[in-house]
Amino acid sequence: EFGHGDGDDDPQLTSPGIDESHWTDLDGLILPAQMYMKSKTVAEMKAWELVKNSNVELAVVNPGYVLGPFLSLDTSSGSLVGVRALLNKEYPAVPELPFTCVDVRDVAKMHYLAAVQPDAAGKRHLAISTPTSVSLHEMAVILDEEGFDVPTGKLPELMVKLIAVFDTKLQLLLPVLGKTKYGNAINGNHLMGGQWIDIRSSLSEQAHS
């Protein structure tokens, strides 16, 4: 995920959205809550700095919200936590929080392709299969249609904001509550040949895993 602060000038909120030329705005992050996002960005910047003017080739894969079957449920991954909250009915209704998504198997495939495709070197590759975001509520509806017992009512924005007073992670998502995010994976689509696993399959198989 990319971070750009709280302003409406966030490029994710205007079509066609972020592409591989965009970087997280480090000055717009809320620390220490978004330290993970900062660490990922700083690490990538350093990697590009290290290979500059060298013979070392670097290709980077930048995934969105990762879904799909997990090899192990013994993880605190944010991707797992979101769907698990739906399956466990941790909330009576579901907030309209947007995510640009990708299947974990596509992320793995992209890492392989980035390593073996000569034209991938020197590029960043967004791993986003949903150029228009899918909300957490839309995910709940998909799971319901696939036969899973999950809440499908929409959690009112006022209620979300009240819950966020006690939930730091939710506070960070308030700027995009009820909005649509966009992702334009130019290099990513080229690397994958435009072939992505459908979000419905990703959610269903994650729920079964």
Residues recognised as catalytic: 40
CB 91 within 8 A of CB 85: yes
Contact 64, 40 (CB under 8 A): no
DSSP class of 46: H
Say if CB 38 and CB 26 are below 8 A apart. yes
Length of the chain: 209
Cis peptide bond N-terminal to 156, omega within 30: no
Token readout for 175 is 């700027």
The three-state secondary structure class of 60 is strand
Cα–Cα distance, 99 to 23 (Å, whole number):
17
Are 104 and 40 within 8 A, CB to CB?
A: no
From start to end of 143-185, where are the E strands? none
Judge contact between 3 and 25, C-beta under 8 A: yes
Token digits of residue 41: 């960005």
Token pair, residue 17, equals 């959205």
